[in-house]
Amino acid sequence: MRKNGQIGRHGGDEFLIFLHNTSREEGFGIIERIPQKIREIVWESDPKVTISGGIILAGTDELTHLFRKADQLLSKAKHQHKK
C-alpha cells in the first residue's frame, strides 16, 4: 500500500481502498496489481477467490455518499462475476 493510501473492511468480504491525491490512471494501475498479489499468497487450502473492483474519483462529496456509491458499484460488479 502506498503511503497516501488506507485500506479497511467495508463488510464481510468487502474492502475499500482510499488513495489520496491519486489520478484515475494511477488508481487503475494499483487495482490491476491486486489480483496478482493475492495469487502470490501461499494458502494452506485452495480457496476460490474472485476480485471485483472499481474506482470513484472524489472531490468534496460527502463520505456517506461515496460509501453508498462504492457499495452500489461493487454489488453490480459482484453480480456480473456470478453470471
Q: What percent of the chain has pLDDT above 90? A: 0
Compute the mean pLDDT over every residue in the chain, rounded to the nearest whole number.
81
Whether pLDDT at 31 is above 80: yes
pLDDT band for position 48 (cuts 50, 70, 90) = confident
Whether the pLDDT of residue 17 is over 80: the answer is: yes
What does each C-alpha distance from 41 to 6, 11, 34, 38, 70 come to in angstroms? 20, 22, 11, 5, 26
The model's pTM: 0.59
Q: Are 30 and 2 in contact (CB under 8 A)?
A: yes
> Is a pLDDT exceeding 80 seen at residue 27?
yes
- What's the whole-number mean pLDDT along residues 15-30? 85
